[in-house]
Amino acid sequence: MTKYLNQKLLERIEEKKKLLDKNRPLPRSVLEKLREQIIVEWTYNSNAIEGNSLTLRETKLVLEEGITVAGKSLREHFEATNHRDAILFLEKLIKNKKIKESDILKIHEIISKNIEKEYAGKYRRGMVRILGAKKLPPNYLKIPKLMKELYEWINKNPDRLNIVELASLAHYKFVAIHPHYDGNGRTARLLMNLMLMQNGYPPVIILKNDRKRYYNALRKADQGDYKPFVLLMAISIERSLDLYLRAIKEEKEEGLEPLSKIAKKTIYSQEYLSLLARQGKLSATKQGREWYSSLKAIKEYKEKRDRRR
């Protein structure tokens, strides 16, 4: 059942989720590649929505190489590394069955470290105004009670919403309460993803290119029209499912097999192929203790070797 979402779109999302579940457990090589990609893109887009000027490439360099980008502020660098660290912490919470207030406060503390030390992981103690919004956030004195009610609503789901709607509305409600001076949007998106990942969905990325649509949908939700916001979140969820399913398809098309099986189909021994894999001369991936490659990769290796002769 759906309350705010088109039934056909929900059914399509659920069908893709079933297909993803059917292919679990995913090969380690696929998971590692997707994880690296998502951490960078999630960090880049979430920060860019909030005004961070690091490009996708610069974000990747900061996170993976530890490089300081000339012309970019120290705060922008911290926003990148902090968000990455928040994702790593979030991954530890996936097995939890409930959303805990202390965990979300810890996420906010992580994304705020070295930036807003005084307010990191703490609720605001004053009034704020959201730029471009007509609706004022609630009085700061009400925040502890409102946040307690939010987490109770999430964990009990009295409206019996499907997880797509529940996570999307939790995202909106968090932003509407605006419990912190800064970092509310980033924390809300991490909260939504925690809920989705606890239910077996891949992480969802709200693209920088959708920034205008995202904020317009938030404003409409302020007026009681939640459908545009839930729709945008659902489209983003489907995009992530497509990303995972496409990676699985590509892996299968490559025809990856254990080297023990490939050796029986070629003139090479398993030991020799393993040596080539360890030396980086053969395109191969290690899953657990075993190397995997494909007949296509063997053919490419042989052609390169023959050309050198």
Catalytic site positions: 178
Q: At what angle do helices 227-253 and 163-177 cross, to 10 degrees?
A: 130
